[in-house]
Amino acid sequence: MKKWGKVTILLLVLCVAAVCVGLFSACAETTYTVVYNTMGGDELPDGTYRESDESFYLPTPRPGDKYGYKFAGWYYDEACTESVERESADAPLLDVSRAQDGVITLYAAWSDLYTISFDSRTGEVFDSLQYHYMDMVQTSSLPVPQSFERGGVTCTFLYWVDVASGNALTGESFRMDSTDMFLQAQYDTGVDDQFDLTDSGYVSNLQSGQVANTVWTRDTLEDGEALSVSVTFPANYSAYNQDSGIVFSAESYSAGGNSFTNAIFFYISSTVDNDASLGGLQFWGTKTVDGVDTEAAELARYGIDGAELRGTAYAEKIAAYKAGGEEATFVYTVRRSGNRWYVGVDGVEYVSIAIGDAAAGGGTVSAALTGSVVGLRAKCTDIYYSDLKIESADNIRLLFDAGENASLSETDSERTVDYGNEVGELPVPVHAEGWTFVGWQYTVNGETFLLEETDSFDSESWKIHLTAVWDDPGAAHYDIVFDTGLETYTFAPVTDWFAGKALSFPALGTYTFHTFDGNWYYDAGFTKVAEAGSFDPAQATVAADGKTITL
d(C-alpha 196, C-alpha 373), whole Å: 20
Strand, coil or helix: 411? helix
d(C-alpha 464, C-alpha 456), whole Å: 12
Closest by CA to 383, choosing from 256, 261, 272, 251, is 272
Closest by CA to 222, choosing from 391, 366, 382, is 391
State mean pLDDT over 304-309.
90
d(C-alpha 242, C-alpha 252), whole Å: 25
Position 500 scores a pLDDT of 83
d(C-alpha 509, C-alpha 516), whole Å: 6
d(C-alpha 299, C-alpha 303), whole Å: 14
Provide the mean pLDDT of the chain: 90
Domain 113-188 classification at class level:
mainly beta
Confidence of residue 6 (pLDDT cuts 50, 70, 90): low
Report whether 399 contacts 410 (CB < 8 A): no
Whole-model pTM above 0.75? no
Segment among 5-9, 150-154, 485-489, 542-546 with least mean pLDDT? 5-9
State mean pLDDT over 191-197.
91
Instruction: Give the architecture (CATH level 2) of 30-111.
Output: Sandwich (2.60)
State mean pLDDT over 243-248.
95
d(C-alpha 209, C-alpha 478), whole Å: 50
State mean pLDDT over 165-175.
94
State mean pLDDT over 124-152.
95
End-to-end CA distance of the chain: 127
- 265: exposed, middle or buried (C-beta count within 10 Å: 0-12, 13-18, 19+)? buried
Position 21 scores a pLDDT of 43
Write b or e for each residue in 170-186: b if 16 or more Cβ atoms lie within 10 A of its Cβ, otherwise e.
eeeebebeeeebbbebb
Confidence of residue 488 (pLDDT cuts 50, 70, 90): confident
Give percent of the chain above pLDDT 90.
70
Q: Is the pLDDT of residue 372 over 80?
A: yes
How does pLDDT run across 427-482, given as a tens digit for each residue? 999 998 889 999 999 887 667 889 999 999 998 889 999 999 989 888 899 999 99
How does pLDDT run across 29-85, given as a tens digit for each residue? 789 999 999 999 999 999 999 988 888 889 999 998 888 999 999 999 999 999 998
Position 100 scores a pLDDT of 93
Domain 197-392 classification at class level:
mainly beta
Position 326 scores a pLDDT of 96
| More confident site: 396 or 510 | 396
How does pLDDT run across 76-135, given as a tens digit for each residue? 999 999 999 887 777 888 989 999 999 999 999 999 999 999 999 999 999 999 999 999
**DSSP H or E run through 10:** helix 2-27
Report whether 96 contacts 30 (CB < 8 A): yes
Position 88 scores a pLDDT of 78
Residues 6+ apart with CB under 8 A from 488: none
d(C-alpha 203, C-alpha 383), whole Å: 6
Closest by CA to 269, choosing from 296, 297, 237, is 237
Instruction: Give the architecture (CATH level 2) of 396-471.
Output: Sandwich (2.60)
Q: List the chain domain ranges.
A: 30-111, 113-188, 197-392, 396-471
Q: Is the pLDDT of residue 10 over 60?
A: no
Position 512 scores a pLDDT of 74
Position 28 scores a pLDDT of 58
Strand, coil or helix: 26? helix
Domain 396-471 in the same topology as domain 30-111: yes
Q: Is the pLDDT of residue 489 over 90?
A: no
Q: Is the dihedral of CA 153, 158, 164, 167 positive or negative?
A: negative
Closest by CA to 295, choosing from 303, 285, 304, 305, is 285
How does pLDDT run across 407-437, given as a tens digit for each residue? 998 888 999 999 999 999 999 999 988 899 9
What radius of gyration, in Å, describes the C-alpha atoms of the chain?
40
Position 15 scores a pLDDT of 45
DSSP 435: P
Give percent of the chain above pLDDT 70.
94
Residues 6+ apart with CB under 8 A from 380: 204, 208, 239, 240, 241, 242, 243, 244, 270
d(C-alpha 296, C-alpha 111), whole Å: 58
Position 19 scores a pLDDT of 46
Contacts by 285-292, CB closer than 8 A, 24 or more apart: 285/249, 285/365, 285/366, 285/369, 286/262, 286/365, 286/366, 286/368, 286/369, 287/359, 287/363, 287/364, 287/365, 287/366, 288/363, 288/364, 288/365, 288/366, 288/367, 288/368, 289/362, 289/363, 290/363
